[in-house]
């Protein structure tokens, strides 16, 4: 693993970020431990800057790989998901942080947010399930993707997949999130096939998600010493 760390530090010092991320992608493939994922995704977060939608997708992968450990990350995730209108996902993220003792139930920021978003999530759930059964047309493609996104946020991956499939051909974000839903549903081969079609600014994330999906079925990697 040190054979990755040394050149990675040199690339970072030279500000060759794209080359650095290419190398870190190989590193996390060979050593898919949470800390290795965290180092890689933290650099990717810095690269995308103020793109809130991309930041949320990166944090989703960070959460899926067990790499979220900091209160600030949970707070940013919850804030972005709240702003995007996914109360069920906000509730799930906050409850995960509480279960991991990242912050206490008495936290002044998370407590009120959890209360307000829980009410909204409960009110939205039945409507989401009903919307999942409606046919998807070109006229409602954007709304359909939003429904699928919300379904993934509450763990209803199987219901989200056919919605994404219906709009993926014309919606690059839906193509990417189709792969995410398939990966989370335990369909690594289908996820890899979907991620292979992703182009644009989520192509790197698609490669990383492919690694995450395949790592779930691969033998455990040997322990590695995290880089700073």
The 10s digit of each residue's pLDDT in 151-175 is: 999 999 999 999 999 999 999 999 9
What is the rounded average pLDDT of the residues 83-88? 96
Q: According to the model, what pLDDT value does residue 138 have? A: 66
In which band, very low, low, confident or very high, does the pLDDT at 224 lie, cut at 50, 70 and 90?
very low
What digits encode the pLDDT tens for the residues 25-65? 999 999 999 999 999 999 999 888 789 999 999 999 999 99
Cβ contacts of 177 within 8 Å, gap of 6 or more: 57, 145, 148, 149, 152, 164
What is d(CA 142, CA 105) in angstroms, rounded to the nearest whole number? Answer: 36
Q: According to the model, what pLDDT value does residue 85 have? A: 95
Cβ contacts of 133 within 8 Å, gap of 6 or more: none
Average pLDDT for the chain: 91
In this prediction the pTM is: 0.90
């Amino acid at each position: 693993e040190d054979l990755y760390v040394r050149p990675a530090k040199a690339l970072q010092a030279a500000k060759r970020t794209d080359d650095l991320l290419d190398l870190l992608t190989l590193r996390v493939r060979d050593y898919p431990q949470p800390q290795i994922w965290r180092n890689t995704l933290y650099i990717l977060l810095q690269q995308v800057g103020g793109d809130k939608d991309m930041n949320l997708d990166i944090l989703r992968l960070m959460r899926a790989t067990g790499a979220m450990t900091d209160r600030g990350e949970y707070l940013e995730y919850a804030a972005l998901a709240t702003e995007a209108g996914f109360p069920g996902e906000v509730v799930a993220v906050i409850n995960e942080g509480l279960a991991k003792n990242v912050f206490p139930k008495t936290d002044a920021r998370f407590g009120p947010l959890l209360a307000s978003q829980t009410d909204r999530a409960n009110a939205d759930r039945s409507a989401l399930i009903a919307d999942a059964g409606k046919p998807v047309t070109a006229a409602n493609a954007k709304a359909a993707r939003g429904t699928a996104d919300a379904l993934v946020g509450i763990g209803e991956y199987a219901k989200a997949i056919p919605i994404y499939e219906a709009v993926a051909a014309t919606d690059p974000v839906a193509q990417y999130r189709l792969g995410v839903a398939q990966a989370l549903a335990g369909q690594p081969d289908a996820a890899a096939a979907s991620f292979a079609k992703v182009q644009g600014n989520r192509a790197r994330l698609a490669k990383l998600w492919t690694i995450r999906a395949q790592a779930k079925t691969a033998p455990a990697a040997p322990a590695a010493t995290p880089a700073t």
